[in-house]
Structure 1
Amino acid sequence: MNAKFLLVFVSLWAALLAACAPAATPAPEPEFPVAALATQAPMPTGVPDGSTTSNVEPVSPSSLRMVIKNADLQLLVEDTNASLNRLTQMAADFGGYVISSQTEQRGDYVYANAQIAVPSAQFEAALNQLRNASLKVLRESATGQDVSAEYVDLRSRLTNLEATAARVREFLADAKTVEESLNVNRQLSELEAQIEQVKGQMKYYEGRAAFSTITIALVPQTAPVEVKPTEWNPGETFEDALDVLVKLVQSLTDIAIWLAVVFGPFALIAFVVIGLGVRFLRPRKAKA
């Protein structure tokens, strides 16, 4: 009886303790993973359907060759202005344009400098036409910079950034607090700035590779200087000698005048002092 009563009492006490115990606190939800997403962006092979990013396909360096070509020419021409006009027309005929041009008047001759851009496919043809249109090529240099690998790296980086930005926009739609929205917007703004920077660099490479630049200096052909033969002329020689003699006499006269004016008074004083000294010394010698 006592054992049965004790069992019932223990059961009731345990139930009372369970009812009075506080409810378990739920585990907090993890914070919004925007920073981790921005720093550990995936490398997708394509852009998901329905996203706002551009369709960028991976390109290998072997299938893309992007070379920036430049040339520098100094040409001897007969007429600078006419050559500059032909150069401008040539750039337009090749589908290019004039970047800059300037002329300079030096005495009786005109010098000019110009820079044109022509399609890269017409680069060698344009150089040949410039050589043929001049009297002589005084200087020529050409360079090429292969930026294929840099361009492919930029495309891969753009794909990565755009895919990351698409995922961040999805998180923005799921943000529940103002703080989460501000954090997502900040990360999204940074990604969009990086995307614009990469696109700008890609456009620069595309434009420079599509059009090659040629810098031309136009030098006019100057008239030869006539050298007169020297002939013996006694009359001219006599006149030259007479001129030298006159200049020599004038120089000696000028020197004499300077000596008389500057040293004359000192010489007069010295003469008087010497005369007085001689006069006083003579009587003393006679008395002795």
Structure 2
Amino acid sequence: MLKRSLPFILIASLTLAACGAAATQTPAAFEYAPAATAAPALAEAPAPASGVGGGFAQDQAATTGAGAERIVIKNASLSLLVKDPAASSDEIAKLAESLGGFVISTNVYGTTYGPNNTPVKQASISIRVPAERLTEALTRIKALAVDVTSENVSGQDVTSEYTDLQSRLKNLEAAEKQLQTIMDCATKTEDVLNVYNQLVSVREQIEVIKGQIKYYEESAAFSQVSIELVPDVVAQPLDIGGWRPEGVAKEAFEALIKSLQTLVNILIYLGICGVPFAIVFVLPTVLAVRYGWKRWRKTKEKPAAG
């Protein structure tokens, strides 16, 4: 803890020295350069997902009371069997907007089903809704389905990471003020450029951390729901013990159509290929056989007449 606080103590001391008597301004600014390099190191901790931050952040997290508000990111995923995936996707989009949420992405695409490769439409949609209305959203979405094939709701507690980021942000903002004060008091161009580079680095890290904090806040405020919409191609009103006779009848009708298509294809092939073959080969053969048969009969009848 003392080691991490040392750069800020040095910066504060140098600030007083830099803004003191005119005779001591240049040495103070010059001596700042090696010490100031430690300030950005406070923000070069692992990414917030690792849950490890600077010493100040760890101290603040340790003092957080048991009753402090938790930052929890809740997400859900559903796989639904629906009659019309495209129409259900539109209804879910309207539902998200009515709950104060919005649509992230939606996709409707073609696929095939069953042994006959029946073409059907399938869809997927991803939405965000206010976290406090997640349960209501899931209930209303499931009401649109013929059946719910899978459902998953997960939660991630990011309170520690969020607290760590807040503390690191305060540390960097304090370092930014100290660096700005030193740069304002510096007189040598070399010293000004050195402090300016350190100041730019600290400000860049501040912007990164602010972005991470905003991401956690928005993710905790709006839960993401991903829905896969699968078509129920045999969904019919009559369903006895899982047996759907009209669905079976539909499959049988499709098989009949496929058989008739095969028969028609054979007839077409015979009409196109068989007729020329019969004219060229079969017809001459039939005529020759018939002519031979007639001559044989005439030859047989002459001896009988004599």
The residue correspondences of 1:244-255 to structure 2 (distance < 5 A) are none
Which whole-Å CA distance do the structure 2 matches of 1:163 and 1:215 have between them? 41
Partner SS for 2:93: helix
Contact 1:35–1:187 (8 Å) recurs in 2 = no
| Larger CA Rg, structure 1 vs 2 | 1
Aligned to 1:92: 97
Which whole-Å CA distance do the structure 2 matches of 1:35 and 1:202 have between them? 31
Aligned to 2:50: none
The residue correspondences of 1:1-288 to structure 2 (distance < 5 A) are 29=27, 31-39=30-38, 60=64, 62-106=67-111, 107-223=118-234, 224-226=247-249
Structure 1 pair 136–176 and aligned structure 2 pair: CA distance change class (3 A): same
Contact 1:71–1:143 (8 Å) recurs in 2 = yes
Determine what percentage of the aligned residue pairs are the same residue. 37
Gaps of 5+ in 1: 1-25, 44-57, 229-288
Which whole-Å CA distance do the structure 1 matches of 2:177 and 2:109 have between them? 56
Which whole-Å CA distance do the structure 2 matches of 1:35 and 1:158 have between them? 23
Partner SS for 1:115: strand
Alignment size in residue pairs: 188
Partner SS for 2:31: coil
Task: Give a deviation string over 1:146-183, Cα, whole Å, max 9, x none.
Answer: 11110110000000000111011110111111111011
Partner SS for 2:150: strand
RMSD, matched Cα: 2.5
| TM score, norm. by length of structure 1 | 0.60
Task: Give a deviation string over 1:245-285, Cα, whole Å, max 9, x none.
Answer: xxxxxxxxxxxxxxxxxxxxxxxxxxxxxxxxxxxxxxxxx
Contact 1:91–1:118 (8 Å) recurs in 2 = yes
Which whole-Å CA distance do the structure 2 matches of 1:63 and 1:35 have between them? 40
Gaps of 5+ in 2: 1-22, 43-59, 112-117, 235-246, 253-306
Which whole-Å CA distance do the structure 2 matches of 1:91 and 1:35 have between them? 55
Partner SS for 1:133: coil
Contact 1:37–1:164 (8 Å) recurs in 2 = no
Q: Which moved more, 1:119-128 or 1:32-41?
A: 32-41
- The one-letter amino acid of 1:151's match is Y
Structure 1 pair 200–33 and aligned structure 2 pair: CA distance change class (3 A): same
Structure 1 pair 37–158 and aligned structure 2 pair: CA distance change class (3 A): same
- The one-letter amino acid of 2:76's match is A
- The one-letter amino acid of 1:82's match is A
- The one-letter amino acid of 2:168's match is R
Partner SS for 2:95: helix
Bigger fraction of residues in helix: 2
- The one-letter amino acid of 2:87's match is A
